[in-house]
Structure 1
Amino acid sequence: MLSPSRFWPRGHRHLRTRLFTVLALESSADDTCAAVVTSTGQILSNIVVKQHHIHEDFGGIHPYKAVQAHQLNMPGAVQRALRDANIAAAQVDGIAFTRGPGMTGCLGVGCSAAKTLAAALNKPLVGVHHMQAHALTPTLTSAPNPPTFPFLTLLVSGGHTLLVLASSASQFRVLATTVDESIGRVFDKVSRMLALPWSAKGPGASLEEFVAASPAREDVAPLMPRAMPGVLGFSFAGLHSAVERFVTAQGGAASLDVSTKHGLASAFQRTAVGQLEEKVVLALRWCRDQGLGVRHLVVSGGVASNSYLRDRLGHSVINATRQDPVSLVFPPPELCTDNAVMIGWASMHRFLAGNTDEYSILIRPKWSLDDDIDIPQTES
């Protein structure tokens, strides 16, 4: 399995003298996750407990219900992660958890559990930036040819739409973000507007599955707006509004036949993904003009599991970088959505460097990747 030696700062190499095992927890939104990961890149366990059956009736994540579910599920998730890894809690070398960003109450469950475990077991503790973890996942999963720093990363999820330059495991520069809604949130909202039943992966995934089920009529959808052309930034509110106006004018989702829903969903997905394609090409050109030597585009986050997005980005990156090729890298779909494996892996360089957090560490529901995310802090 992949060794982390090529990813951590050179000054830390003398610390990699033995296997280091991390128990990691993730609870930033509606998935309760626990995993055991080693410094050699072994995934010893990966537990993800979904809450979709709880939130579908509310049309989205209900904060109070999500916290309750995390409180119910976290002890069992930790127990299963240790059992699947065939390791006792006392044998774990460190405890990692998602410190932020995310939903305040949900983050608090994971933080409290991690701090209690670390204190009881007398183990070091590291709080991890959720989007840093998404960005670094392919450095674990893409053996034998992982992305090398610096690389460009597109982070697309229910809470974020970011283009980020990753210079190291802890140094990130945000090149573009959304001025309004994230692409994942808009996928979820359009799915609900069309009254699509949630799939096992959630409302956004149900829209992708619905579009892929049969050919869509191209003549039934409204003109979808092109957002911020030529600008390195994202905006999905206009696209959301266009779909909402069309559905309302037709008398609501109940008045739409299946063919019309297919046409509308297809046009929405094509336009939303097209915006990602355009902005990625702009960012790649910027990196080239700056002479940064970027050779990889990493795409991660829950929306990165979308097969249509993967296919379209593959074509656009190839076409845009024929003279100076850039490789497109995706984690496996099961590690695109929230999981604790990525949290454990993102914490590893800090554990190996002895750069850990105090047990008094607090969560950070709002936390930019532009911040220095590896300095231990005790204030939110």
Structure 2
Amino acid sequence: MKVLGIETSCDETGVAIYDTEKGLIADQLYTQIAVHADYGGVVPELASRDHIRKTAPLIQAALKQANLTAADIDGVAYTSGPGLVGALLVGATIARSLAYAWNVPAIGVHHMEGHLLAPMLEPAENRPHFPFVALLVSGGHTQLVRVDGVGKYELLGESIDDAAGEAFDKTGKLLGLDYPAGAALSRLAEKGTPGRFVFPKPMTDRPGLDFSFSGLKTFAANTINAAIKEEGELTEQTKADIAHAFQTAIVETLAIKCKRALKETGYTSLVIAGGVSANKQLREGLAKLMDELGGRVFYPSPQFCTDNGAMIAYVGHLRLQAGENSNLAIEVKPRWAMTDLPAAG
């Protein structure tokens, strides 16, 4: 089975083709960073318009990359939620139209399930086996999930306010970094001096697996103001030191909660996925944790950490093979709990 996957949930247009026998055979991605840079964040209307312009050419490019024609496609998968409603509707409309014209089934895919299963795109020796604990960490989500199979998910904990990626973005803006500020903060943190500033690790002094990162932004703002009062203006080194302290607090908080989740479930495998999973310090921290626990951590390649069509094509092929097939209605779900998904197979 060859499945075309389309991702348009936010500010990346991703198109890919997954072959059940050969694996990923085409992967095309267009990012809208330049479109939104002047605004310091994603503008939903501009995102939708750009998806309209880019999706069809990327589909043509993917077919050419795989040396296929429309007649070779056996199914179409698309992101139906969660995400920006206008952006989702672009992908859903195009996907449903193509499926109808090509007389093949179509399936709406949950965006976060795509991230969760993205490590399955890796070579066999680097893929996790069920069951495992997953840390989904991105601009819009920070969740710990017990995973017993495809569609067999139990939410263990999540952020009660800002997601980790959102906190990165907001703190990056406070430091005066260019969009995307979160990624810029991570790069800046590599130049920071460990220990000069120490940030709190929120909600780690109490039981439970929920997260809260909004207070770190306030702590960062206070730290920045104090540094300006002392120095007159922020030097680049002070910015780097604050970025390092902020990132360290988030990484250590995530590691503490992951350790609790692993002990609670008794599982020895940890998956990290989502845009923030590409963070170098986070990967190193969780790798150290799993070495201490005698387990193993799995994650996608960097190109599959951020939004992409490959993860949508992969999940789509799993669910189409399991016999799922959406109706012809063009429906999207901007808010959609992953625990509402049916088990596949």
What TM-score does the superposition give when structure 1 sets the normalisation length? 0.86
SS of alignment partner, residue 47 of structure 1: strand
Instruction: Write out per-residue CA displacement over residues 167-217 of structure 1, whole angstroms, 9 at most, x where no aligned residue.
Output: 11111111010000100111111111111234xxx33221111122x3426
The AA in structure 2 aligned to 1:116 is: S
User: Which stretches in structure 2 are left out of the alignment for 5+ residues?
Assistant: none
Instruction: Write out per-residue CA displacement over residues 345-365 of structure 1, whole angstroms, 9 at most, x where no aligned residue.
Output: 111122113211111141011
SS of alignment partner, residue 255 of structure 1: coil
SS of alignment partner, residue 161 of structure 2: coil
More deviation in 302-311 or 242-251?
A: 242-251
* One of 151, 155, 159 as aligned partner of 1:178: 159
The question of 1:232 aligning with 2:213 is answered: no
The residue number in structure 2 matching 1:193 is: 174
**In structure 2, distance between residues paired with 1:217 and 1:314:** 19
The residue number in structure 2 matching 1:38 is: 19
**In structure 1, distance between residues paired with 2:178 and 2:8:** 24
- Whether contact under 8 Å (2:274, 2:305) holds in the other structure is yes
- Whether contact under 8 Å (1:148, 1:295) holds in the other structure is no
**In structure 2, distance between residues paired with 1:186 and 1:373:** 32
The residue number in structure 2 matching 1:305 is: 278
The question of 1:273 aligning with 2:251 is answered: yes
Q: Pick closer, same or farther for the CA change 1:264–1:41 going to 2, 3 Å.
A: farther
SS of alignment partner, residue 178 of structure 2: coil
Instruction: Write out per-residue CA displacement over residues 248-302 of structure 1, whole angstroms, 9 at most, x where no aligned residue.
Output: 45559993111110111000000011110000000011012xxxxx231111111
Residue 128 of structure 1 deviates from its aligned partner by 0.5
**In structure 2, distance between residues paired with 1:366 and 1:373:** 17
Residue 142 of structure 1 deviates from its aligned partner by 4.0
**In structure 2, distance between residues paired with 1:41 and 1:179:** 41
More deviation in 266-275 or 138-147?
A: 138-147
**In structure 2, distance between residues paired with 1:296 and 1:250:** 41
* One of 73, 90, 99 as aligned partner of 1:109: 90
The residue number in structure 2 matching 1:15 is: none
The AA in structure 2 aligned to 1:330 is: Y
The AA in structure 1 aligned to 2:36 is: H
1:87-98 → structure 2 map (5 Å cutoff): 87-98=68-79
User: Which stretches in structure 1 are left out of the alignment for 5+ residues?
Assistant: 1-19, 289-293, 376-380
SS of alignment partner, residue 76 of structure 1: helix
The AA in structure 2 aligned to 1:122 is: N
The AA in structure 2 aligned to 1:360 is: A
Across the aligned residues of Structure 1 and Structure 2, the Cα RMSD in angstroms comes to 1.9
The question of 1:264 aligning with 2:239 is answered: no
* One of 25, 36, 42 as aligned partner of 1:61: 42
- Whether contact under 8 Å (1:129, 1:373) holds in the other structure is no
More deviation in 130-139 or 25-34?
A: 130-139
**In structure 2, distance between residues paired with 1:122 and 1:111:** 16
Residue 336 of structure 1 deviates from its aligned partner by 0.9
The question of 1:314 aligning with 2:287 is answered: yes
Residue 163 of structure 1 deviates from its aligned partner by 0.5
- Whether contact under 8 Å (2:262, 2:268) holds in the other structure is no
- Whether contact under 8 Å (2:109, 2:316) holds in the other structure is yes
**In structure 1, distance between residues paired with 2:22 and 2:174:** 41
Instruction: Give the percent of matched residue pairs that are identical in Structure 1 and Structure 2.
Output: 35
Q: Pick closer, same or farther for the CA change 1:31–1:373 going to 2, 3 Å.
A: farther
SS of alignment partner, residue 167 of structure 1: strand
1:364-375 → structure 2 map (5 Å cutoff): 364-373=333-342
The question of 1:287 aligning with 2:265 is answered: yes
The AA in structure 1 aligned to 2:72 is: Q
The AA in structure 2 aligned to 1:224 is: F
Instruction: Write out per-residue CA displacement over residues 279-330 of structure 1, whole angstroms, 9 at most, x where no aligned residue.
Output: 0000011012xxxxx23111111100111110011112222x1xxx321111
**In structure 2, distance between residues paired with 1:140 and 1:49:** 20
The residue number in structure 2 matching 1:12 is: none
Number of aligned residues: 341
Q: Pick closer, same or farther for the CA change 1:351–1:244 going to 2, 3 Å.
A: same
**In structure 2, distance between residues paired with 1:138 and 1:367:** 22
Q: Pick closer, same or farther for the CA change 1:254–1:57 going to 2, 3 Å.
A: farther
- Whether contact under 8 Å (2:126, 2:298) holds in the other structure is no
- Whether contact under 8 Å (2:150, 2:343) holds in the other structure is no
Residue 120 of structure 1 deviates from its aligned partner by 1.1
* One of 181, 186, 200 as aligned partner of 1:208: 186
SS of alignment partner, residue 218 of structure 2: helix
- Whether contact under 8 Å (2:40, 2:178) holds in the other structure is no
